[in-house]
Amino acid sequence: MPIQQMLLGSGAAKDGLGVDQLFRIDGYTGAGGTALRVGQGLDMTEGGMGTVRPMTLTEDKFMFTTSMGVNKRFELNGGGTEYTGYTNSFETNGFFLRGDNSDRYNNSSQRYVQTTWRNADNWFREFSYVGNGASTQTITHGLKSTPGMIWISTPTDWTVWHKSNGTFSSSGDTWDYYLRFGGSQNSGRASNERIKDIGATTFTIGDSDSINTNGTTYRVMCFGDNQAEFGPTSDKVLCKCGSYSGNGNSNGTDVNLGFRPQFVIIKRRDGSADWVVFDNVAGVSEDSDGNHRDRLTTLAKRGQGTRDPYIHFGPLGFQLQTTDSKVNTGGTYIYYAVRADDGASSKIPENGNEVFDSVASTSNSPRINTNMRPDFVICKREKSNTENWRMLTRSMGGHEVSQTNFEGYGRGSSIRWNRAHKGGTNGIWENTFNNQGIGYAWKTSACFDWVQYKGLANGVRTINHNLGGVPQLMIGRRWHTNGGNSGWNIYFGDPTKYFDGFEQNHGTNSNRWNNTAPTETQFTLGTSQDLNANNRWHWVGLWRSVDGICKIGTYTGDGTDNRAVNLGFQPRWLLLKRINGSSDWCIFDLVTNGTFGSFIRINNTGAPVVQNTITRTSTGFTADNTSSSGNN
């Protein structure tokens, strides 16, 4: 009898420079007098830059560069004056914020978002130069490709060049316009601060005192643009600079990047407006009717985060969902976008801890906390009592859904994404229950990715994904507040079949997957309202096997004890489900009751079952001949 299985273990390293090795967004609550590690996964001994945005205080936006050295920072809304504070040390695994309880970046009662870039060819370079006071000076930038955006710190302000700023002629020469950070944010599109001839190795500056005073040191940040040099196959684009024209509608211009972003900077080019930032940790809005509102923040201007339905991050780009003049009137806007750390662009994980975590929480808040930044969580608030399983996905903010009650919940009052996470980690918390909970969390990677989309009235369609391989398991549903009843629809290798929710038996119907197997880049939908309801948001998670890390497959029971299944690694989490007959969805792990033999059922609200029918081995597991083990 074939059994569906999903397992997570550890394995050997693979080559590949992924976005998760070059860029990181951390949300955190300050640690007060304790130094705080952020930027995990980034080797900051290679050099780089970081910016911090206070979310609960009206404070300055700060940044550092590693070439400045530790304990130094700039104000993004100020000039080139260097202040003390911010960083404590730069490490091979991120860096440490100083433990000085500063309101600006580490107050123990405040929340922040930290964004970090690591130096790398074709991606990002930070450095300094000394002005010579001449009419022009050629600067070598070291990026090894033509930048898409350049920041230069000046004594009193910031000069920002972007490839879409436009050009003008002066005295028979062609120069590029520039913009500013700071209070004005728009002044400076004149000829006195000149930049031109931006190329793969150098750019040229003019004679303005603000960027070329003799003997003055200036700091430069060069951002790469549209270089297909990254990811495990060294052919993925991780960032892109460009422009778009606003349309002034609540469904704005759809900007095609060729990838799903996790971070976007936008600035109106032809009018006065703030530099604004959207990211998937502070939050992005996903619904034009306002049901999934999250935070927008300014890049440089003082101020707190705001809540508004502004933008949707889709599988191939972003779309504004507002008529706000900062991002979508009839004007022209420049942008800089960073790719999400999806399965196709992230490094191949070296062990399962990087991409999966199972947690049995205590009664202390946060109830479920992980050592990574998860994107999808299945959790049960009270492990040993009758309690529904809940599912959360980062792209839907605080909106949770239940395994048994298929109506979408509002912003979770009892379980939600924890924006108070510490140590550069990101878990979930719960503040209404005092019993032990349990949770399983996945991070986007070569093992797991997700897609979010709006259904269409015309039925059959293909959906792009970024898993980096063919999905072997897909779990999806309508995820739209007040969007009507919906069940989970589970694909397990046969496009003619599906599980309707976590039911004990599967169904056969072409309206889920349209009898079409998924590919490395797309999957196909039929007319099911659960997966393709017109104008409603839907979410689908996709999983595949990665050697030594996780495995999805089947085996046939033989009715004996000690039936051996070889995985190539020792599992720490196992999902078993019979697929040609009725059975529970059984999860075996090391945290539920401290032994792999116990299991908990995702289709059942009850307590764990203590029954030693599954045994871990160094290369997989063995199953005994009992109905609950799946080897009958």
Query: pLDDT tens digits, residue range 270-312?
Result: 877 888 898 877 766 655 454 454 566 788 777 766 666 578 8
Please, are residues 349 and 445 in contact by the beta-carbon 8 Å criterion? yes
Please, are residues 239 and 338 in contact by the beta-carbon 8 Å criterion? yes
Q: What is the mean pLDDT of residues 39-53?
A: 93
Say yes or no to pLDDT of 54 above 90.
no
Say yes or no to pLDDT of 430 above 80.
no
- Sheet bearing 389-393, strands edge to edge: 356-360, 438-442, 376-380, 389-393, 401-402
Q: What is the DSSP letter of 299?
A: S
365 HSE (CA, 13 A, CB side):
13
Give the pLDDT confidence score for residue 561 in this predicted structure: 85
Give the pLDDT confidence score for residue 412 in this predicted structure: 35
pLDDT tens digits along 522-558:
999 988 888 898 888 888 999 999 999 999 999 988 8
Give the pLDDT confidence score for residue 326 in this predicted structure: 86
Rounded Cα–Cα distance for residues 524 and 533 (Å): 14
Say yes or no to pLDDT of 112 above 80.
yes
CB neighbour class for 524 (10 Å; exposed up to 12, middle 13-18, buried from 19): middle
Indicate the residue type of 247: N
In this structure, of 111-115, 408-412, 593-597, the range with the lowest mean pLDDT score is 408-412
Rounded Cα–Cα distance for residues 85 and 64 (Å): 10
In this structure, of 4-8, 153-157, 218-222, the range with the lowest mean pLDDT score is 4-8
Give the pLDDT confidence score for residue 421 in this predicted structure: 37
Q: What is the mean pLDDT of residues 415-435?
A: 45
Indicate the residue type of 223: F
Q: What is the mean pLDDT of residues 549-576?
A: 91
Which residues does 565 contact at the CB level (< 8 Å), separation at least 6? 5, 555, 620, 621, 622, 623
Indicate the residue type of 435: N
What tokens does 395 get? 């792209």
3-class secondary structure per residue, 524-574 = EECCCHHHHCECCEEEEEEECCECCCEEEEEEECCCCCCEEEECCCCCCEE
Q: What is the mean pLDDT of residues 441-461?
A: 87
Give the pLDDT confidence score for residue 435 in this predicted structure: 67
What DSSP assignment string belongs to 407-419? Answer: SPPSB-SSEEE-T
Residue 517: pLDDT band (50, 70, 90) is very high
417 conformational bin, left if phi > 0, alpha if psi -120 to 50, beta if neither: beta
Q: State the pairing for strand pair 550-556/415-417.
A: unpaired
Give the pLDDT confidence score for residue 411 in this predicted structure: 37
CB neighbour class for 247 (10 Å; exposed up to 12, middle 13-18, buried from 19): middle
CB neighbour class for 70 (10 Å; exposed up to 12, middle 13-18, buried from 19): middle
How many residues are present in the chain?
A: 632
pLDDT tens digits along 159-168:
889 999 887 7
Report the share of the chain in percent with pLDDT over 90: 34
pLDDT tens digits along 232-282:
889 999 999 999 999 998 888 999 999 999 999 999 888 778 888 988 777
Residue found under tokens 């080019």: 269
Q: What is the mean pLDDT of residues 426-442?
A: 65
Say yes or no to pLDDT of 199 above 90.
yes
Give the pLDDT confidence score for residue 614 in this predicted structure: 87
Q: What is the DSSP letter of 209?
A: H
Say yes or no to pLDDT of 483 above 80.
no
Please, are residues 65 and 124 in contact by the beta-carbon 8 Å criterion? no
Say yes or no to pLDDT of 598 above 90.
no
Rounded Cα–Cα distance for residues 289 and 302 (Å): 29
pLDDT tens digits along 313-350:
888 999 988 888 888 988 899 999 999 989 899 999 88
Say yes or no to pLDDT of 379 above 90.
no
* C-alpha distances in Å from residue 112, one per residue of 106, 134, 249, 281: 8, 42, 31, 10
pLDDT tens digits along 388-407:
787 877 776 656 666 654 44
Mean of all residue pLDDT scores within the chain: 81
Residue 183: pLDDT band (50, 70, 90) is low
Rounded Cα–Cα distance for residues 278 and 281 (Å): 9
445 vs 156: which has the higher pLDDT: 445
Most confident of 293-297, 368-372, 463-467, 594-598: 463-467
